[in-house]
Structure 1
């Protein structure tokens, strides 16, 4: 299927989205792109430095606006872009702590369950553990890595015990870690 706005296929849009995720979340230096302290990059600079894909400001805008997971934000005057979360580089997303819902979900693969039962959920090389209110989203994320397991997190109890939660612009709940005592294994 071709997108009528720019004459580009959905497959090409997906490839560009993955490329933008890589550059904006993990390796801006791979193309010599400069991010500010909050993770924002100039769209013009991104377009100028990208050689892997035919990129225009309009195409960057289209990818950001149509990404089903809302991975990107564009500033109000449409000159800058950033990833909403998932960074392995040091950025300050300027998130405000929020009270989470009573329960949140985390999608993973069964092959990771033994480690999670021992250590809980850890952020690894990212800034936070990602949680969601949606079983569909948790299932989509977890099934990418193998046989699906959706875990229920007692986020209310975590919050009551001092854990700090944030919610990204695309409604992903973020926390530093989830100890095993807050994980319920009966969901899927």
Structure 2
């Protein structure tokens, strides 16, 4: 089995997350993408987050019944700081023989050396950097020469100009988010009174 692993705070999850997961399934011939909401991000200490259980519910609403996607609460259930190296180890134990593909944004090119045990992560999973055109149309195609474990796989994805930060800002300003998140996620945001 070929499993994509897409982690993040998902605060909130949005259509961009679905589109990059779809691109990964198609271009990497993945059997499934596992969405893993973080309990606490180690590289974002002290940042305010929506409670983990609420973010988990939003990710479940995001993926709905699409058989290509599954949501795993592994990091939320474990609690504390969410380290990818631990999550990949647990997934490998739960899915013996599965080939894991860690899906990450281009920002990983500058932050990965600060992750816990980056070399071990590279042994556990194929690192896939999801690239999309920048403002000038260019996309990263190479890692820094000292990138831990050597060059990752680069996967071009569509450019989706939506972010969780923008969704939160729109809601705080009282602006609509139709088209930014599926209606199922918008319903959860409204019912919980989030981001106001």
- Could you tell me the TM-score, scaled by structure 1's length? 0.28
State the structure with bigger RCO (CA 8 A, min sep 6), 1 or 2: 2
- Could you tell me the TM-score, scaled by structure 2's length? 0.27
